[in-house]
Amino acid sequence: MRSTCLHHKHLQKEHPFRTEMAKRLKPQLFVSRLSFFTTNEKLKTLFSPFGEVTEARLVKDPRTQRPKGFGFVTFDSEVEAQNALKAMNGKIVDGRLIFVEVAQARRDEDATS
């Protein structure tokens, strides 16, 4: 017979971070308000203390190839991504206040329009 601890009942609820992360193969974070001088390598270096960064990609203007000031960081595990989100959201990097959140899964209908 298994007993349920009532004061830990809140742990049984699905956390929004987990629900969103479960929808993708690897956990990915969206990082905004980055300096325009940030590079893919610098982005990876910023987030690598929290775990294995499998990809760090800045979004660039297709015409000028200049960064748009936001990007994506993909981690090997959900725990690493969650730790990075907690630690880096609201930090000042290169003189700019950055925001970090769980990247939203792209819907097929959005990608084709």
DSSP at 88: H
Q: How far apart are the first and last CA of the chain?
A: 53
Identity of residue 31: V
Residue ranges in the chain modelled with pLDDT below 70: 1-24, 106-113
What pLDDT does residue 105 have? 80
21 with 87: CB under 8 angstroms?
A: no
Q: Considering the entire predicted model, what is its pTM? A: 0.72
Residue 56 phi, psi dihedral angles, 5° rounding: -135, 115
CA distances for 38 relative to 12, 41, 61, 90, 92, angstroms = 40, 8, 14, 17, 13
